[in-house]
Structure 1
């Protein structure tokens, strides 16, 4: 389309340049018809016409060279446009590559979010288990305190028994073997309680 417009412009330019020559040719023809007796003048006009034709041919040759130059420039311009198109194609490929990489990165981020969600659930589970463990520890502490109070009570009872036994021994009312047996039984009970507490 651009070449057609360019050729139209060249044709219009030629018409403008050739219009004076056409007018001169018309004048020459009129002179030939009106001045047949002036052959020399006619020959001069013919000579001038030949010279004008040579100049016209020279200008046409120059114009053809310019047209050839324009065509060469258009060819180079088309090559540059083709180069730009190739570069744009490569750029589009790179942009597509970036988009693909961003998509993969988003998928990885989504995977991290999922993993963090699972980790949070595990942490919540650990917190629940720790809460239960704390409750068990509280119950164990309460039981241990109860056992300690029981042991203290038994120790106090044993102490009273020993004191009573000591008083009775001093008075000679209780046999020594019986007292030793009771003391051994109490010691065994205390040993069992201590072992139970250590467990």
Structure 2
């Protein structure tokens, strides 16, 4: 039995050496797993930093979207104001058309009045010319009458003087 036990022990020692080799292999595998875990930890850290970068990029993108939303709102407001200006400009154009029509009517009316006034002035000038001729005739007549009156007045003065002289002679 001793022999069997020795054989078993020697077999176990052989097996123990094999197990030691297996243990060493497991230890090296464990070390590889540890180094792999470290690498995974580094990769996790890199992913964490990448996640942080993506979060900051997401935040910046949301800020940009917010700003773009504000810009879009402003553009919509500008478009509304431009539409209102277009409407007002259309109203102004319509009113300007009405003003142009009124100006045309007034222009025609002014031309008609000018023609009528010219005709009326010609008529008045004709009448004035007739009256001027009449005044010249009357003036000439009055002048002639005045001359006649002066002549007669002189004659009557001469006659009165002669009469006075005759009276004085008679009385003397």
TM normalised by structure 2 equals 0.66
1:83 paired with 2:56, answer yes
- Whose relative contact order is higher, 1 or 2, with alpha carbons under 8 Å and at least 6 apart? 1
Superposed displacement of residue 163, structure 1: 4.4
Structure 2: state its 5+ residue gaps.
1-6, 150-172
CA–CA distance in 2 between the matches of 1:43 and 1:167?
A: 174
Distance 1:39 1:129, change over 3 A: closer
Which stretches in structure 1 are left out of the alignment for 5+ residues? 1-34, 177-199
The aligned counterpart of 2:39 is 66
Once the two structures are TM-superposed, the CA of residue 141 in structure 1 deviates from its matched residue by 1.2
- Kindly provide the CA deviation profile for residues 125-181 of structure 1, in whole angstroms up to 9, marking residues without a partner as x: 221222222122122212221222222221232233234435655776xxx9xxxxx
Structure of higher CA gyration radius: 2
Cα distance in 1 for partners of 2:138, 2:24 equals: 165
Whole-angstrom distance in 2 between the partners of 1:63 and 1:57: 9
> Could you say which residue in structure 2 is the equivalent of 1:118?
91
Give me the CA root mean square deviation. 2.8
For 1:44 and 1:168, locate their aligned partners in 2 and report how far apart those are by CA, in whole Å: 175
Residue of 147, 153, 169 corresponding to 2:120: 147
CA distance in 2 between counterparts of 1:53 and 1:163 reads: 154
**Residues 8-59 of structure 1: CA deviation (Å, up to 9, x unaligned):** xxxxxxxxxxxxxxxxxxxxxxxxxxx8555554443233233223222222
Matches within 5 A, 1:33-182: 36=8, 37-38=10-11, 40-165=13-138
Partner of 1:13 in structure 2?
A: none
**CA deviation profile, 1:51-80 (whole Å, cap 9, x unmatched):** 223222222222222222222222222222
Structure 1 pair 139/41, CA: closer, same or farther in 2 (3 Å)? same
Q: Name the CA distance, whole Å, in 2 between partners of 1:167 and 1:80.
A: 121
Change (3 A) 1:61 1:140: same
Number of aligned residue pairs: give it.
Answer: 140
The TM-score normalised by the length of structure 1 is 0.58
